[in-house]
Chain A
Amino acid sequence: MGCVVSKSDDIKNENESRQRNQASSSQQPSSSQTPSKQIGIAAKDSEEQPQEVSYSQMRELDNDFFKDIIDRTAQKFIDVSMVGPDGKDSFLDREKDYSAQIKDSKLLKPTSLTSLPRLSQQCQMSNLQNLLSQPTTFDNELMSKYTSSISENLNGIHIKECGELVVFFGNSLK
């Protein structure tokens, strides 16, 4: 009771802890010893090496450049002879087709045209001069008839005295 005794597990854990510390301490010097890389200075291994291009090589490059232009341009061109149908011939063909359709078709008069009332004898084209110069007897008789009818109906109107007319609004007045 009250006695303190170290266990085997405690000893093992302590040993492992010491090993980790040693490992971390050994790593620190290597990282601190890494030389720093200066900005703007390329590494020696990746330095560019100058090369001379001879006249013949430059000519070859020029020829490749021009050949590329020719090839690309040739692909862009539209072959006019392959595009069809030819506009002019197409128009002529359409014209022929339309003419044939017109020739074969038969236009029929609609019945509604024949059902319209015909003008009176006095209003025909042969009597146009008279129509424009002065009113005809027909028109005078028609106007007289209508005037008499209107006058007769106006005379038939009688007004009766009914007193005041009262109108109620809404349900609140009930």
Chain B
Amino acid sequence: MEDNYEEYDNAFVGNLGDMGYGEDTQAAGEPASQIENKPKIFLMGLKRSGKSSIQKVVFHKMLPNETLFLESTSKVVKNDISNSSFVQFQIWDFPGQLDFFDPSFDYEYILNNCGAIVFVIDAQDEIIEALQKLHQTIAKVYQINPNIHFEVFIHKSDGLSDDHKIDRQRDIQQKTTEELADANINVHPSFYVTSIYDHSIFEAFSKVIQKLIPQLPTLENLLDVFISRSRIEKAFLVDVVSKIYVATDNSPVDMQTYELCSDMIDVVIDVSCIYGLKEEEEGLGYDQESHSVIKLNNGMVLYLKEVNKYLALVCLLRESNFDKHGLIDYNFICFKKAIEEVFSRKTTKAGAKKTIKKAN
């Protein structure tokens, strides 16, 4: 399957000339101003903590085992993620050896449009140095842009036992909280235990992306109403390319349920690519006609419907509640129209003012 993301490996323009970085170039056909206006997510952390592996697995469909052959990142890698009609952002992968706060680095400029910083910590390695860098990063970034979300990925957890995962998370979280409190920094990072070998990395990134979507409360409310009226147990609004869920209803997220819904997308896309595309036709095999119903052997039904070009609604419901699927289809049509209305309106940006004329 061909990636649907554009990737270009460019160094960041600024005062990086002295550090051996080249000139930045914009994506083909896209103005520089439009690229720079997209919210950014920074991947930071020590060397070999797994930053590039995360980016490759989540957004480029790389198999986890293939990440073993990735070379160390030597310069800032910018990935333009335009995976849906409304969620468009950039992933910046920073080398671990890069001193972000070096005076020759214009960090104030690049932090202006940053939405979140994902700090990756290797859970299998010594954490003292990583925590020092994390605290330093939070302290300095907070002074420049206090609106940035801080997300900590306790990564490479696949090598730890369940008890050890909990202990490591508690230890990191406690140390960070105490350090920030001592420094009088009113920042509350979120912590996730992740691994590229299971769906935890996708769930963690989903939470990060959701914090950058201003329409999230509306989406959640719509999903809540939809599932209550349609007798659905759980629903996810999923990006079919990355399998990140941009919204879900307010019931608790069960990892197994998310994995089932994610696997269903894989099945639908793979079958569509094999049988749905004409000869010599390229594409994802996913369009407005895409829909699927899979009956599980545990009395449950997986229900998938296309919402827009890149989003799908994936639901889990009881087989006994699927007898009136015609009414559920009707409710979905209403839901889909509402989603289109939500994203047809551009939300207000911070500090923006608009002049309107009104007749007396």
A: residues with CB less than 8 A from B are 46-55, 58-59, 61-62, 65-66, 69-70, 72-74, 76-81, 83, 86-88
Contacts and interface: CB of A to CB of B under 8 A. Distances in A.
A74 B323 contact: no
Given A69-B338, A80-B229, A53 B218 contact: no
Given A58-B354, A79-B229, A73 B222 contact: yes
- Kindly list the 9 A-B residue pairs having the minimum CB-CB distance in the complex, ordered from nearest: A58-B348, A73-B338, A77-B229, A66-B218, A76-B334, A48-B357, A74-B225, A79-B229, A80-B327
A103 B341 CA distance: 58
A93 to B, nearest CB: 14
B143 interface: no
Contacts of A51: 355-358
Given A58-B352, A86-B323, A69 B342 contact: yes
B334 A55 contact: no
B226 A77 contact: yes
A87 to B, nearest CB: 5
Contacts of A72: 338
Contact of B324 (A48, A58, A80): A80
Interface string B207-250: 00000000101100110011001110000000000000000000
Given A48-B359, A55-B348, A70 B324 contact: no
Contacts of B334: 73, 76-77
B145 interface: no
Given A53-B356, A79-B229, 12 more contacts: A46-B359, A50-B355, A51-B355, A52-B353, A52-B354, A66-B217, A66-B342, A69-B218, A78-B327, A78-B331, A80-B231, A80-B321
B351 interface: yes
A50 B225 CA distance: 40
A70 B231 contact: no
Contacts of B342: 66, 69
A85 to B, nearest CB: 11
28 contacts: A46-B359, A48-B360, A49-B360, A50-B355, A50-B357, A51-B357, A52-B354, A52-B355, A53-B354, A55-B351, A55-B352, A58-B352, A62-B347, A62-B348, A66-B218, A70-B218, A73-B337, A74-B225, A77-B225, A77-B226, A77-B331, A78-B229, A78-B327, A78-B331, A80-B231, A80-B321, A83-B324, A86-B323
